[in-house]
Each structure stands twice: as structure tokens, then as C-alpha cells.
């Protein structure tokens, strides 16, 4: 029957219809505020970040490191067995060079979000940003190290790490 | 217990547009009315309603399905909204299936609706609040990051180039030239894609589907009722859906395992053992061009990493061995999230009945698969339709 | 062709007004873990499908289902979210099992409303964007208008409504899960400040936090796994119009239609006689009365008298909201329906402790999604 239909419903508007107010519209800004409890797992993870270290947990059934730290293993569906403390170095698993922001606006300086496999986690990655590097030089498999905010500026948040920068083994 | 058979008996959709004059309710009504008219039913013949619609943050109404009910023909009826992010459209077909297969109802109207343009300045803003509120959102995470990572990883593991992937966009936008509802149908070249503005490398403007307003609808019926309504019922032979972990760092993005699990569930139900041979036509989810290839692999329609080569050989063209997104897909018709998923199932309905007009694939296809994806590279939803 | 479906496992966290010690994920995990233990199953192998009931803006996350599978054992498994009250989630699971393709299904819903700081603005955000949002009022006026029309058409009084608050808060004292148990008088309710005339502060429920998970099974699995299966005998759900301008303001039509469907399935003709107890929506005190009439426990306009005569007390002929209801336990957003089902399951299993209704065999739970909706669901459960 699809071939028999001549007129399909729907009226497309142009930008001008809105700008010149050819159509009526209402505006609304929701007033929504939230304060989320971090809970046990993330709470300890962020406490760790405030102290300049990366905290994960381990499940002794599947022998995985869980990162960010969590109170239970989603794979085995049981509570985790221990806290593990990881280095602030890792390897880029995959990355992007983002020229647009969250509202699809054009950014002046691109940002480089990357999935970083943390050393000692057996390949588990966290999401973060790369810095002090020319976007042209970023490669998958690149070694990176966390650049922390000064201690007094840390708040127990993911942003306590400013970004991750390339490093060579044996250097600081 | 043998399964109660469920058929698709009618379909309808609105044009997909960047910004529609209609409200979400009106879009839903237009698509629903068209689907009912297509099989000579009225809303009084409908026992139950399934509403598929993605985040409330698009339409900017809390409890969006409550707001939409009357537009969806659900007044004083049982209405249910299933929600699995971008996978919602195809999932709503699964949900309509279980309404009827359960024996509770004989008919079900499925409406997929999205009015993304209500979210200003840009619908992408709705995704800002998707990610983990502690570990991801504070970094300014945008939707494109995840796609870019996945595309990068897919290319890296298999040694695939951006040029090979761009061909999907060319194919789908060209297919869409024959779709009366298409928003971004055009004849473009691979170089146009490669030269389009980089949004988040390796993702470029023409790798991406547009944001859209629109609605699509299907009418489902139990076997007895379907045979009274039409002599060309299209059967829902298998359904599957699956979610992976939200912790992206805990898995490998190169392959959509969640799609494979969902596909196996649907194929098992449909008695399909060799999908690459038994499926004649596919509507894989293509919000980004690489995603179509990724999903074709996840649907077990070819080996991992093999899709780009088959694409180059014309295998997925409308006249190829396994036409993929003959509708024009999201890249060509538009990405009105949940409506697009329903559109993909509607395309199979029209194709299997031989009613797709200029888009009709040759060779009288008998079995098709439609699939959608969603969330944080996490959801696979699959339906197998057949005649 | 219909086979039977039973609830074979229940798990829940304590219901508390604030829960700063756990994240919503950890709360979901605790309830799920307990439910699976109660059912004697392993979620990673035994459960065929999972359902979560949640709304994005309540959680503060777009596409909330992203955050769900990890917390209830559903990673890489069949799972979906239903944006509706938990009873509708149970109905989804019921239908999945009735298809014959699924044997065991788990349903999760929770409330972390303490993390939502602007509940009234959230409710306002559910209003029609063209007709109602621009008016910009606190959405509580809708309940006030509805109560006013209900009292006007039925002759029910504010005193009748106050009796509901008194009863439910008193019932909640014996429920260790409840957050708002109290011994108050009708005068306390009537003298509490008017919020949206004729509604007073003590006519309205307040939010609480908590997670609930239930496990459903086909008849064969239920008999193999459970000593005390609680059978689902009837289900129904319905949406009336969302449009404020054209709805019935005195009658809960959605509840009536949903109940008719559920009674038909369960073969119930005289609910007041055939039901041993009911847990029904009391988001506001008048709602319990309005819903009693819609559920055909009495004729229109008779609910107030029925409460006055003590019929709905714990020792009465048809105890209603023995758990304390939302007025006594606390309102739990999409988990509210599951809280009501939980009470019925505990009662039918004979595990309700001090508030046990003797010989409870058949119970009904009903939900309403709250202002500004006209959607609700009914489920009828029995121990036999």
C-alpha cells in the first residue's frame, strides 16, 4: 500500500518560520535539581581521587578488577572482595578529537576524550581527557599519565584529574 | 506450549522532518491513523497500545507517554511504554508482540513518536544527562565521544578506513531518494563524506544521521484476527533484546556483542540457524554509517570485520545479495529515534508484501530482520519478520 | 491456553525518608539480591528476562535504562524498562511468561526521591506544554480541584477523607518498613494547614526511598521452586485522558476500567466479598475513597461511610491499606505499586507479623501514577 499513498502526513517548518514567528510556540525551562548519593563504591573511588590515587575493587570469583570502584560485581552478581589501588598511568584504548561540544556547538580548541586502560587493571578503561599533546600525535596504544589538580583544589570528583598526558617509561 | 502467532497487518508514518509543525501528539495521531486506515480498522478495534518514544528530554515533558496517550489512540485503553533508549523503536515491536502472544489481546497499535526539535538549542543537549552523573557527565561527555571511540576501535581492530565506511552514507542517502518521507535523501560521493566537517574525529558531519521529528505506527493482530483483516499478513517470527553493562571501559567496543545476543534470541525463536543465508533483507540501525556495518556483523549476517568489503562489492545495495537499509535508513530518511525503529519494521512490512514501490528490492524477499541500537553502546533490539 | 504465573521471590530494602549511605545502584542491588535469594535462583543463569520501571526525569538521567542492567544481574541479558508504575512492570512480566517463551522474569523498581530536590517542579514538568505549563502553577492544584469535585458530586466530607489518613498512618505503626507511621486524629488532619483547598497537609502522602524486586515464574517453575507461590489471577491497566480540560474530575475511570479487566480475568463478581484485603492508591486521602468506588468495593458516594463504619480497618470486613498505604509508608514514585503488591504477598504468605490479616487468601493491589496523570493498574493475587 505504501506505493499508493500520494500525500504523507507532516508539515516541515523552516528556521525562518520560527525566527519570524510565523508559527506560535511556547518556551519552558524545567527547574529540576538533584543531589545524588555516591554510595559505598563510588564514595571510596572519589575519596581516593581526592587523595591522588585511583581505587578499584576486585571480585575473587571472576578475578576482574572493577573500575571505577563498585560495591558489587555486575557479572557474578555478588559483593566484591577487596579494594585495589592502581597506578595513575595507563594506555589509550581508543580516543576521539572532538570539535563540537555538548550542545553541538563548534569548539575553538578541540578536546580529546579517551578511554584509558589503567595499569594493573588488566585492561579496564576509564573515560577521561588527554592534554599537553598535539591532537595529530595521539595514537591508540599511547602511554599516558594523570595530571592531578593541586591537592587543595581537589573535591573528590572525577575532575580532580585535570587530564592525562603522554609519558615515556622511566620518566615523571 | 506452542507460541501464539502474531502478525503485522498495517503500517503508517509521517514525513521525517528537522522541525515539524505538529505537536508530538499530532504526529502520533497522523501515523496511527494512517496505519489503521491501511488495514481498514478504527481505533475501536484496538485492544491495547504500545508507545515507543525515547528520552523525555527531547519532547521536554516528564512522563512523556502519559502526555502522548490520547494522540496514540490509547484513550481508556491499556497503554504501555517500553523504553530502551535508541533501541526503543524496534523494541516496541517486541513489546507489541508479547501483548498479543500472551493471549491477553487480539490487536495492538504500536506508535513510535519523537519530537526532538522541542529540545533547544540542540536536541543533542538531551544526551548531556545520559551518562554516569559521577564519572562521565562532569567531563563534558557528549554523545559523539562514544560513537567516535567505537568507530575508532572498530577501524583499528580490523584495519578499516574512513573511506570504506563512508560508502554506507552514500548508499543510504541514495536509497532514501525513493522514500516519500525522507529528510536527507541525496546523491553524494564518498569524497563528500570524507571532506565534510569533522565533528569528533573520526566522525564527520556526513557520517551522522540528522535529528528529526516524526512518527511511525504498526498494527499487530493475533493469527485469527489477522487472517480476517488481510490476506497478506506479515508474521513476527522472532524477537530479541539485550543490554550490556553500562561500564564501557569494562568491555571491548570493536564488536556489538549485545546485538549478537539479541539476534540469537530472535533467530532461535524464528528457527533460523544460518542467518546469512536465511535472511533476505535487513534494516540494521544506522544512526552513524559505521554503525550499519557494526550491526550487520552483530546480526551474524557476515563475519566480523567483513562488512566493509561486502559493502564495496555491492552486496548490501538494493539489488545486492542482502539489501541493507533499502528504506534509506536513519542516514537518509532521518533519525526520529523511536519512530525510526518502527519505520525500519514498517519498511520490512512493505518490502515483504511487495508494496515498497520504487524502493522494492527484487527477488520477492520472504524473511527480513530489523534492528535498533541504543544507550551507552549497550542495547540491541531485533525483530525477524516473514511471510 | 493460559497457564498460571506466580510471584516466587520478593526482595526489598528498608524504606527510609533519606538513604545517604547507598547509591541508587547499591539500593537496586540489595533488593535484587534478596529477591533472588528468596526465590532460590541465580539471576545470571535462571532468569530469562528482566523489567525495570522508572522515569528519566525522576532519576535525573536521560535514558535511565543505561544504568539498570548492572544493578540487577541483567548484564548481556534480555531486559527492558517500562515507563510506568511497578504493577504495570509485573503485568509486562506476566505477559512475557504467558507467551510461553519465558519461564522466569524479574521486575525491579525503586525510589530515590530524596535525591530529587524539586519534586513539585518535576510534576509541573509533566503538564501539557502548550495548554498548562504556561500557567505556571504548583501542580498540587489538580489534586485540590479533583477532591473538590469528588466531594461535591458524592456528598463525601473532608472528615471522611481525614479518617483515611488516620487509619493509614495508624496501620503504618505496625509496619517496620513504613516511614510515616503516626497516631493522629481527624482533628489533626482537619486542622493541618490547607495546601490546595480542600486538601490539607495531612491529606497528602510524602516521599520515601526504597528498592523492591520481585521474581515471577511460570506454573511449572513456581511449583518446583517455591513453597509459597502467590498466583496472579487477574491484571488490568488503563489510561484515561491526559487532558485536564476533558477528564472526569469526580470518578477514577482508569481504575474502574482496569479493575473490570482484572475482575473478568480472575472471575470475581463481588469484590467486597471475594477479596480478603486490598492495597490501593492513597497518594491523597480522598483518592483511597475515590478508588474504592472505582474498584466497585461500594457504590459511588458510599466509600466515606464504609470507612466510617470500620469496614476497611485491619479487623474489618475488607481491610484496606493494612501496610499503611502511601500516607503511612511513604510515596515511592514508580515503586509505589510494588510496595502495595509486596504487602499483599507478605499477607498471603502469612508473613505480615503484627499486622497479619487472618486467613488472607485473595488480595488486590492498585496503583495510580499521580498528578497529573489518569493512568493506573490493578493486580489480583491469591495464595491458591
Give the ipTM of the model, two decimals please: 0.97
Q: Looking at residues C146-159, what average pLDDT do you find? A: 98
Among C68, C64, C372, smallest CA distance to C239 is for C372
Q: Which residues of B fall within a CB distance of 8 Å from A15? A: 19
In CATH terms, the fold of domain B6-121+210-386 is Peroxisomal Thiolase; Chain A, domain 1 (3.40.47)
- Copy the grid coordinates of residue B324: 541493507
- Considering only A101-115, B187-201, B271-285, C25-39, which range has the smallest mean pLDDT? A101-115
Q: Looking at residues C184-211, what average pLDDT do you find? A: 98
Strands B281-283 and B367-374: parallel
CB B66 within 8 A of CB C369: yes
CB C341 within 8 A of CB C204: no
∠ Cα B91 B97 B99 (to 5°): 110
Decide: residue C246, CB within 10 A, 0-12 exposed, 13-18 middle, 19+ buried.
exposed
- Copy the grid coordinates of residue B337: 529515534
pLDDT at A104: 84
C-alpha dihedral, A80 to A84 to A89 to A95, nearest 10°: 10
Quote the distance between the C-alpha of residue B211 and its chain's center. Answer: 14
Contacts (Cβ under 8 Å, ≥6 apart) of B175: B318, B325, B326, B327, B328, B329, B332, B359
Max Cα separation, chain A?
72
What are the C-alpha distances in Å from B209 to residues B340, B346, C216, C326? 11, 19, 40, 46
State residue B142 phi and psi, 5-degree precision. -115, 160
pLDDT > 70? residue B372? yes
Band of the pLDDT at B127, cuts 50, 70, 90? confident
Band of the pLDDT at C1, cuts 50, 70, 90? very low
pLDDT at A114: 98
∠ Cα B145 B250 A130 (to 5°): 40
In CATH terms, the fold of domain C5-118+209-230 is Peroxisomal Thiolase; Chain A, domain 1 (3.40.47)
pLDDT at A25: 85
Q: Say how far apart CA C88 and CA A117 lie, in whole Å.
A: 41
Chain B's closest residue to A93, CA to CA, is: B153
Could you list the beta-strand ranges (E) of chain C.
5-12, 49-53, 79-82, 104-111, 194-196, 199-200, 210-218, 230-239, 277-279, 362-368, 375-382
What are the C-alpha distances in Å from C263 to residues C232, C236, C239, C269, C380? 12, 8, 17, 7, 8
Do the Cβ atoms of B83 and C237 come within 8 Å?
no
Do the Cβ atoms of A42 and C23 come within 8 Å?
yes
**Touching check for A99 and chain C: CB below 8 Å?**
no
Band of the pLDDT at B1, cuts 50, 70, 90? very low
pLDDT at A90: 97
Do the Cβ atoms of A94 and B149 come within 8 Å?
yes
Q: Which of B98, B118, B287 to mutate to test the interface with C (most CBs of C within 10 A)?
A: B98
Q: Mind telling me how many Å the CA of C78 is from chain B's nearest CA?
A: 4
**Touching check for A133 and chain B: CB below 8 Å?**
no
Q: Looking at residues B27-33, what average pLDDT do you find? A: 98
Pairwise pLDDT comparison (C384 vs A61), residue with the higher score: A61
Do the Cβ atoms of A37 and C112 come within 8 Å?
yes
Q: Say how far apart CA B69 and CA C84 lie, in whole Å.
A: 12
| pLDDT single digits (tens) B247-280 | 999 999 999 999 999 999 999 999 999 999 999 9
Do the Cβ atoms of C69 and A77 come within 8 Å?
no
pLDDT at B120: 87
CB A83 within 8 A of CB A62: no
The conformation of residue B153, written as its DSSP 8-state character, comes to H
Contacting chains of C (3 CB pairs or more, <8 Å) are: A, B
Q: Which of C43, C68, C76 to mutate to test the interface with B (most CBs of B within 10 A)?
A: C76
3-state percent breakdown (helix, strand, coil) of chain C, nearest 5: 45, 20, 35
Residue C231 C-beta-side C-alpha neighbours within 13 Å: 14
Band of the pLDDT at C72, cuts 50, 70, 90? very high
- Copy the grid coordinates of residue B147: 560513537
Do the Cβ atoms of C92 and B80 come within 8 Å?
yes
Quote the distance between the C-alpha of residue C256 and its chain's center. Answer: 16
CB B287 within 8 A of CB B150: no
- Copy the grid coordinates of residue A89: 598511568
Kindly list the domain boundaries of chain C, sorted by start residue.
5-118+209-230, 127-207+232-382
The conformation of residue B82, written as its DSSP 8-state character, comes to E
Q: Say how far apart CA B353 and CA C154 lie, in whole Å.
A: 55
Do the Cβ atoms of B55 and C75 come within 8 Å?
no
Quote the distance between the C-alpha of residue C92 and its chain's center. Answer: 15
Q: Which of C22, C42, C133 sits opposite A37 (nearest CB)?
A: C22
| pLDDT single digits (tens) B221-255 | 999 999 999 999 999 999 999 999 999 999 999 99
| pLDDT single digits (tens) C244-294 | 999 999 999 999 999 999 999 999 999 999 999 999 999 999 999 999 999
Q: Which residues of C fall within a CB distance of 8 Å from B81? A: 82-84
Q: Mind telling me how many Å the CA of B188 is from chain C's nearest CA?
A: 33
Q: Which residues of A fall within a CB distance of 8 Å from B113? A: none
Q: Mind telling me how many Å the CA of C194 is from chain A's nearest CA?
A: 25
CB C89 within 8 A of CB C82: yes
CB B162 within 8 A of CB B202: yes
Chain C's closest residue to A33, CA to CA, is: C117
B240: helix, coil or strand? Answer: strand
Output the tens digit of pLDDT for each of chain A's 172 residues.
Answer: 566 788 899 999 998 898 888 998 889 999 999 999 999 999 999 999 999 999 999 999 999 999 999 999 999 999 999 999 999 999 999 999 999 988 888 999 999 999 999 999 999 999 999 999 999 999 999 999 999 999 999 999 999 999 999 998 876 5
- Copy the grid coordinates of residue C357: 490479616
SS3 of B37-70: the string is HHCCCCHHHCCEEEEECCCHHHHCCCCHHHHHHH
Q: What residues pair up with C269 in beta bridges, in sequence order?
A: none
3-state percent breakdown (helix, strand, coil) of chain B, nearest 5: 45, 20, 35
Please state which CATH number belongs to domain C127-207+232-382. Answer: 3.40.47.10
Residue that has been written with the C-alpha cell 575508532 in this structure: B152
Q: Say how far apart CA A72 and CA C31 lie, in whole Å.
A: 13
- Copy the grid coordinates of residue B327: 528504506
∠ Cα C56 C135 A30 (to 5°): 30
| pLDDT single digits (tens) B335-346 | 999 999 999 999
Contacts (Cβ under 8 Å, ≥6 apart) of C106: C9, C32, C35, C36, C43, C47, C49, C50, C51, C72, C73, C74, C93, C213, C214, C215, C216
Q: Say how far apart CA C78 and CA B241 lie, in whole Å.
A: 5
- Copy the grid coordinates of residue B177: 531518494
- Copy the grid coordinates of residue B159: 584495519
What are the C-alpha distances in Å from A44 to residues A57, B136, C22, C175? 10, 17, 12, 34
Q: Do domains C5-118+209-230 and C127-207+232-382 have the same CATH topology?
A: yes
Residue that has been written with the C-alpha cell 499521580 in this structure: C370
Q: Mind telling me how many Å the CA of B284 is from chain C's nearest CA?
A: 19
Q: Say how far apart CA B46 and CA B106 lie, in whole Å.
A: 8
Q: Which of residues 36-55 of A touch B (CB under 8 A)?
A: 36, 38, 42, 45-46
Helices (H), B271-367: 275-278, 289-298, 307-312, 329-332, 337-352
Do the Cβ atoms of C24 and A37 come within 8 Å?
yes
Contacting chains of A (3 CB pairs or more, <8 Å) are: B, C
Do the Cβ atoms of A8 and B125 come within 8 Å?
no
| pLDDT single digits (tens) C112-138 | 999 999 999 999 999 999 999 999 888
C364: helix, coil or strand? Answer: strand
Among B158, C76, B292, B253, smallest CA distance to A114 is for B253
State residue B185 phi and psi, 5-degree precision. -75, 135
Q: Say how far apart CA C196 and CA B110 lie, in whole Å.
A: 38
Amino acid at each position: 500500500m505504501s506505493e499508493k499513498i500520494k500525500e504523507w502526513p507532516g508539515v516541515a517548518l523552516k528556521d525562518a518560520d520560527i525566527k519570524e514567528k510565523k508559527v506560535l510556540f511556547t518556551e519552558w525551562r524545567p527547574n529540576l535539581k538533584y543531589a545524588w548519593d555516591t554510595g559505598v563504591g563510588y564514595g571510596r573511588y572519589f575519596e581516593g581521587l581526592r587523595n591522588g590515587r585511583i581505587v578499584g575493587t576486585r571480585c575473587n570469583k571472576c578475578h576482574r578488577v572493577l573500575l571505577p570502584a563498585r560495591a558489587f560485581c555486575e557479572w557474578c552478581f555478588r559483593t566484591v572482595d577487596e579494594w585495589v589501588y592502581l597506578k595513575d598511568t595507563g594506555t589509550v584504548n581508543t580516543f576521539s578529537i572532538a570539535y563540537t561540544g555538548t550542545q553541538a556547538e563548534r569548539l575553538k580548541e578541540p578536546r580529546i576524550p579517551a578511554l584509558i586502560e589503567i595499569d594493573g587493571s588488566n585492561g579496564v578503561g576509564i573515560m577521561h581527557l588527554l592534554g599537553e599533546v598535539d591532537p595529530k600525535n595521539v595514537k591508540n596504544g599511547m602511554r599516558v599519565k594523570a595530571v592531578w589538580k593541586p591537592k587543595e583544589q581537589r573535591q573528590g570528583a572525577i575532575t580532580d584529574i585535570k587530564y592525562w598526558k603522554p609519558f615515556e617509561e622511566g620518566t615523571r | 506450549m506452542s507460541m501464539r502467532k502474531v502478525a503485522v497487518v498495517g503500517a503508517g508514518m509521517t514525513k521525517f522532518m528537522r522541525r515539524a509543525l505538529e505537536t508530538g501528539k499530532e504526529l502520533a495521531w497522523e501515523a496511527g491513523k494512517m496505519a489503521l486506515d491501511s488495514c481498514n480498522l478504527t481505533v475501536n478495534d484496538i485492544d491495547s497500545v504500545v508507545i515507543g518514544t525515547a528520552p523525555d528530554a527531547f519532547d521536554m515533558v516528564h512522563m512523556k507517554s502519559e502526555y502522548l496517550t490520547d494522540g496514540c489512540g490509547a484513550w481508556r485503553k491499556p497503554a504501555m511504554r517500553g523504553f530502551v533508549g535508541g533501541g526503543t523503536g524496534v523494541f516496541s515491536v517486541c513489546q507489541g508482540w508479547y501483548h498479543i502472544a500472551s493471549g491477553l489481546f487480539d490487536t495492538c497499535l504500536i506508535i513510535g513518536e519523537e519530537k526532538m526539535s522541542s529540545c533547544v538549542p540542540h536536541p543533542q543537549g538531551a544526551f548531556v544527562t545520559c551518562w554516569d552523573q559521577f564519572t562521565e557527565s562532569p567531563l563534558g561527555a557528549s554523545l559523539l565521544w562514544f560513537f567516535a571511540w567505537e568507530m575508532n576501535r572498530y577501524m583499528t581492530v580490523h584495519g578499516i578506513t574512513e573511506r570504506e565506511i563512508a560508502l554506507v552514507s552514500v548508499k543510504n542517502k541514495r536509497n532514501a531518494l525513493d522514500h516519500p518521507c525522507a529528510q536527507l535523501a541525496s546523491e553524494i560521493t564518498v569524497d563528500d563524506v570524507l571532506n565534510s566537517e569533522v565533528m569528533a574525529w573520526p566522525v564527520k558531519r556526513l557520517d551522522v544521521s540528522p535529528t528529526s521529528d516524526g512518527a511511525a505506527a504498526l498494527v499487530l493482530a493475533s493469527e485469527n484476527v489477522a487472517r480476517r483483516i488481510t490476506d497478506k499478513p506479515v508474521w513476527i517470527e522472532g524477537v530479541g533484546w539485550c543490554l550490556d553493562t553500562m561500564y564501557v571501559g569494562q568491555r571491548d567496543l570493536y564488536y556489538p556483542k549485545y546485538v549478537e545476543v539479541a539476534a540469537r534470541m530472535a533467530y532461535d525463536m524464528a528457527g533460523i540457524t544460518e542467518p546469512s543465508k536465511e535472511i533476505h533483507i535487513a534494516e540494521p540501525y544506522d544512526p552513524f554509517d559505521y554503525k550499519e556495518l557494526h550491526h550487520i556483523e552483530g546480526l551474524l549476517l557476515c563475519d566480523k570485520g567483513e562488512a566493509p568489503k561486502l559493502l564495496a562489492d555491492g552486496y548490501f545495495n538494493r539489488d545486492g545479495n542482502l539489501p541493507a537499509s533499502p528504506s534509506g535508513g536513519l542516514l537518509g530518511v532521518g533519525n526520529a529515534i523511536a519512530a525510526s525503529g518502527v519505520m525500519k519494521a514498517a519498511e520490512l512490512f512493505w518490502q515483504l508484501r511487495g508494496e515498497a514501490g520504487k524502493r522494492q528490492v527484487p527477488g520477492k524477499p520472504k524473511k527480513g530482520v530489523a534492528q535498533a541500537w541504543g544507550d551507552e553502546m549497550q542495547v540491541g533490539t531485533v525483530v525477524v519478520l516473514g511471510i | 491456553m493460559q497457564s498460571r504465573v506466580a510471584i516466587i521471590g520478593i526482595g526489598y530494602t528498608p524504606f527510609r525518608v533519606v538513604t545517604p549511605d547507598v547509591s541508587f545502584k547499591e539500593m537496586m542491588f540489595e533488593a535484587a539480591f534478596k529477591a533472588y535469594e528468596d526465590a532460590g535462583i541465580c539471576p545470571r543463569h535462571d532468569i530469562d528476562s528482566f523489567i525495570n520501571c522508572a522515569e528519566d526525569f525522576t532519576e535525573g538521567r536521560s535514558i535511565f535504562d543505561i544504568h539498570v542492567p548492572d544493578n540487577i544481574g541483567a548484564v548481556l541479558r534480555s531486559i527492558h524498562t517500562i515507563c510506568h508504575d511497578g504493577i504495570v512492570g509485573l503485568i509486562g512480566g506476566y505477559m512475557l511468561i504467558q507467551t510461553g517463551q519465558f519461564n522466569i522474569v524479574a521486575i525491579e523498581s525503586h525510589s530515590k526521591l530524596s535525591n530529587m530536590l524539586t519534586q513539585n517542579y518535576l510534576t509541573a514538568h509533566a503538564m501539557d506544554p502548550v495548554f498548562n505549563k504556561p500557567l505556571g502553577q504548583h501542580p498540587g492544584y489538580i489534586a485540590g480541584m479533583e477532591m473538590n469535585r469528588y466531594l461535591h458530586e458524592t456528598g463525601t466530607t473532608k472528615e471522611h477523607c481525614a479518617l483515611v489518613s488516620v487509619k493509614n498512618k495508624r496501620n503504618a505503626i505496625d509496619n517496620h518498613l513504613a516511614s510515616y507511621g503516626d497516631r493522629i486524629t481527624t482533628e489533626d488532619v482537619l486542622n493541618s494547614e490547607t495546601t490546595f483547598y480542600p486538601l490539607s497537609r495531612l491529606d497528602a502522602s510524602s516521599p520515601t526511598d526504597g528498592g523492591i524486586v520481585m521474581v515471577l515464574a511460570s506454573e511449572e517453575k513456581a511449583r518446583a521452586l517455591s513453597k509459597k507461590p502467590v498466583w496472579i489471577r487477574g491484571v488490568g491497566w488503563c489510561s484515561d485522558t491526559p487532558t485536564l480540560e476533558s477528564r472526569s474530575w469526580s470518578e477514577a475511570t482508569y481504575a474502574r476500567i482496569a479493575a473490570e479487566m482484572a475482575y473478568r480475568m480472575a472471575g470475581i463478581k463481588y469484590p467486597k466479598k471475594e477479596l480478603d484485603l486490598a492495597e490501593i492508591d492513597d497518594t491523597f486521602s480522598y483518592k483511597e475513597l475515590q478508588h474504592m468506588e472505582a474498584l466497585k468495593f461500594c457504590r459511588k458516594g458510599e466509600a466515606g461511610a464504609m470507612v466510617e463504619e470500620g469496614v476497611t480497618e485491619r479487623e474489618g470486613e475488607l481491610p484496606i491499606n493494612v501496610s499503611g498505604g502511601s500516607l503511612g509508608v511513604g510515596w515511592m514514585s514508580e515503586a509505589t505499586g510494588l510496595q502495595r503488591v509486596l504487602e499483599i504477598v507478605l499477607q498471603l504468605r502469612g508473613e505480615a507479623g503484627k499486622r497479619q490479616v487472618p486467613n488472607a487468601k485473595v488480595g488486590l493491589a492498585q496503583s495510580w501514577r499521580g498528578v497529573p496523570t489518569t493512568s493506573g493498574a490493578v493486580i489480583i493475587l491469591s495464595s491458591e
